[in-house]
């Protein structure tokens, strides 16, 4: 098989993965993956590994998709309920992105707990404007290091009651402070970050374009440099 064929299967498999998560809240089944790769599950699995190497998704040791941002295959701290589908959001960023990405789901209910005090939070997040609320998001890992351990990164992009809860959690865990933003900034960050990801021809942003996007959301400084 030529490299051109590989790229074609990769894109078919990538789209199949993302559309399955968007439509059903789950990764594609083995037959669905095989269908996306011309009837061959082996070809599909090869494509999954190339996609993981290219940072389009994250696999576990059993070749299952763990993350296909903004979707997660298992609970990572956020449930995202639409009118018809329940998703696991990979993190605060990803959870806020889902209503902007999934057709027919312009508004979702995001549920989570403050990592510091355990207070439950439920936010209705839509496409038109940020949700009201005094909660803040804390991102522990800077952009340049996010893919060093992407599951740890996602597990530490959480919503807290207030910055005082962030400070208490940092003191308890011994972590250094990352970046704190309000809900409006988080919403702007999530709004267009994954635009086009369900379609053929999607390309991840190059560093300069990513920096431009972050600045447009009001996020500047060393933490956001790739």
| Phi, psi at 122, each rounded to 5° | -130, 125
Q: Is the pLDDT of residue 33 over 80?
A: yes
What pLDDT was estimated at residue 4? 47
The model's confidence at residue 226, banded by pLDDT at 50, 70 and 90, is confident
Q: What mean pLDDT is predicted for residues 37-45?
A: 95
**Among 107, 115, 73, which residue's Cα sits nearest to residue 90?**
73
The model's confidence at residue 6, banded by pLDDT at 50, 70 and 90, is low
What pLDDT was estimated at residue 8? 87
Q: Which residue intervals of the chain bear CATH 1.10.10? A: 3-68
The model's confidence at residue 191, banded by pLDDT at 50, 70 and 90, is very high
What pLDDT was estimated at residue 212? 96
Q: Which CATH architecture has domain 75-224?
A: 2-Layer Sandwich (3.30)
Q: Which residue intervals of the chain bear CATH 3.30.450.410? A: 75-224
Q: Could you read off the pLDDT of 75-125 as tens digits, one per residue?
A: 999 999 999 899 999 999 999 999 999 999 999 999 999 999 999 999 999
Counting residues of the chain whose pLDDT is more than 90, the rounded percentage is 95
Q: pTM here? A: 0.94
Give the C-alpha separation, 73 to 88, whole Å.
7
The model's confidence at residue 155, banded by pLDDT at 50, 70 and 90, is very high
CATH of domain 3-68: 1.10.10
Q: Could you read off the pLDDT of 157-177 as tens digits, one per residue?
A: 999 999 999 999 999 999 999
């Amino acid at each position: 098989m030529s490299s051109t064929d590989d790229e074609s299967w990769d894109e078919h498999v990538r789209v199949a993965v993302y559309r399955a998560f968007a439509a059903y809240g789950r990764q594609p089944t083995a037959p669905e993956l095989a269908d996306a790769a011309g009837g061959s599950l082996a070809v599909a699995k090869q494509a999954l590994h190339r996609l993981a190497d290219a940072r389009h998704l994250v696999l576990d040791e059993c070749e299952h998709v763990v993350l296909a941002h903004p979707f997660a295959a298992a609970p990572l701290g956020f449930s995202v309920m639409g009118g018809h589908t329940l998703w696991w959001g990979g993190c605060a960023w990803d959870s806020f992105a889902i209503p902007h990405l999934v057709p027919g789901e312009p508004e979702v209910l995001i549920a989570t707990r403050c990592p510091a005090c355990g207070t439950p939070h439920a936010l209705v997040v839509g496409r038109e404007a940020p949700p009201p609320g005094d909660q803040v998001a804390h991102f522990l890992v800077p952009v340049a290091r996010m893919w060093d351990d992407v599951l740890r990164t996602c597990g530490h992009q959480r919503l807290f009651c207030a910055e005082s809860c962030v400070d208490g959690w940092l003191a308890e865990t011994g972590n250094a402070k990352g970046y704190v933003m309000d809900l409006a900034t988080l919403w702007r960050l999530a709004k267009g970050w994954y635009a086009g990801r369900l379609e053929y021809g999607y390309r991840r942003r190059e560093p300069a374009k990513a920096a431009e996007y972050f600045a447009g959301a009001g996020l500047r400084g060393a933490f956001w440099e790739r």
